[in-house]
Structure 1
Amino acid sequence: MRKKLSMEYLRGAVRTEETENGLELQRLSPAIMKQFAWDEHLEIRMRCPSGVRIVFRTDSPFVRLPFRYGRVARPFYEFDVFRDGMKTEFSRADDVLEIVLDGALHTIEILPPHLVECCFGELELADGAVFEPVEKPAKKLIFLGDSIMQGMTVSRPSFAYADRMARHLNADYSNISIAGMTAFAVQGELAMEYEWDRMFFCFGVNDFNTERPLSKYLSEMRGILNAVKGKPVVLISPIHMTGRPNEKNGVSFQSFRDGLEKLAAEFPNVKFVDGTKLLPFDDRYFADGLHPNDCGEELLFNNLKELI
């Protein structure tokens, strides 16, 4: 039998979109898309299903899911699949993902590639098999930031520290981060359109690298914190950059971190985390001197979970 992917089987998505290539699972609201899809590069990153999961319960002895890749933010094409909370094997052939099961009742969670546009066909299961939604965790997290929080540049969706953190906290989550983005106060208002109990929040790398004035950066960050109206926030200052200048026109990157720490102290709902404590200044942990690699992302997560 065939089943269409409807919202009751999706997590981290706010809507689906029918296209000529199949069904896209969109994590960003129309308001966010309208606000920030300034060019094709940003649009591609925004349409990548970072943090989206397909979750259901079935006793089918197999699950097949047709897919097609679209445009690429980063060339990482891996899926991840969990069975009853543990990673499990699957195969991909002829644009179909297949999971072979034992016919017992299992909870299946499919994570699409997080840095590539993806379209999907209908799920195929054995005739008469159970196919039902799974209750979501009570806790809800939201991740708001730039490319590092979106998951660049790790090779698998489950390696992203947002996904790791949500699993560690047994929480549902949405990742509304956009690679290349700087801080804008309106992002706080747009985040409030989502359901969440706790926000993980980080901007600053792109603000500094585009030589945005420190005062403007802090003003926009203040606007975001004001907009969330006292809800719990983990505010992470920018991590190290090993491959870029850490001073421009007499302004140090550290001054962005210091200013952010002072700002955080004004908000009792904000837990400040020094991003430089999450990863050392060491090229071994970076893919390109800016984005953590797989090893760096794991270390970042392990350090972050101890600091929150």
Structure 2
Amino acid sequence: MIEQTSLRQICTKEDVRLLVDILNDLAAQTWHKISVGPSRGLAFGEESLTDHNLFELDRLGAPIEVYKFDKTEEPYNGADFEWWIGSDTTRWLGLRFQAKKLDDDGVYAQLGHWVRGRRQYDLLLEQAQRDNVWAFYCFYNGWSGSWPKGVTNAGCKNRRTPAPFGVGDGSCVHAYLEDFGCAIAPAATVARRHQGEPRNGRLALEEHLRYSRPWSHIFGDRKRHFQEPRQIVQELPAHLLGWSIRRAGAASNVDQLSGLPDGAGYHRELPPWLEARRRGATSQEGYRPAIAVVFDVG
């Protein structure tokens, strides 16, 4: 378990390493809640998992601020939470997430959720591109057993499969199995795979898992992470761009890839509604995600 820290900015490579550890620890907690909770009579939903994870991020000090908004805003952008990574002296990157929890039968049953007559992922992709932010799904996972056979691990160049924490012997060095308790996948890939599935979009876990990586991999994996915080702002768009194109290309033969922000997700300033919140405003015009987290990389 990660101990509480007074860290309020991510200013050194040690801070980046701590942030990766925090995210992996929260993923492991999510994994445990989903895989063990039902047997204890405790079933955790998507909202409670999101609230806990982002509360802990705020408590542990890795993000400088966390903001929670009401549910009335989600139907307009298809998102559950949003991350802003950067600083006032560099630039800001926006990442928008829709969360889905793995069900007992090994599928994400609510993935094809309809909102105001449209698929939720269509709203997510359309609004994210309009707002120049990256769109991802965050899958909350947990199951008994090992990594599914025949599923490629997108986060390992050596194609090795993740093993449970503490188990080595030739397994992936970039992530443990429990790191996939909070796994992200490009929303464009998820949408295309869902639309192309004949069983009414009920793809099994294995199909989405091959396009997923632990959410900590935004900042670095267990073997390698960004050496300097400012590298995150400078290099993350190219990293996300390449991954999104490769993943979407593997899932579809379409020539035109949708869901990528036109400006690579860069912003010179935080969005006005978020900046107003940082100054203490209680309300602001426009629609916001349910939760916003600001990572200040100094």
Length-normalised TM-score, structure 1: 0.26
Larger radius of gyration: 1
Q: Could you say which structure has the higher helix fraction?
A: 2
Q: Could you say which structure has the higher strand fraction?
A: 1
Length-normalised TM-score, structure 2: 0.27
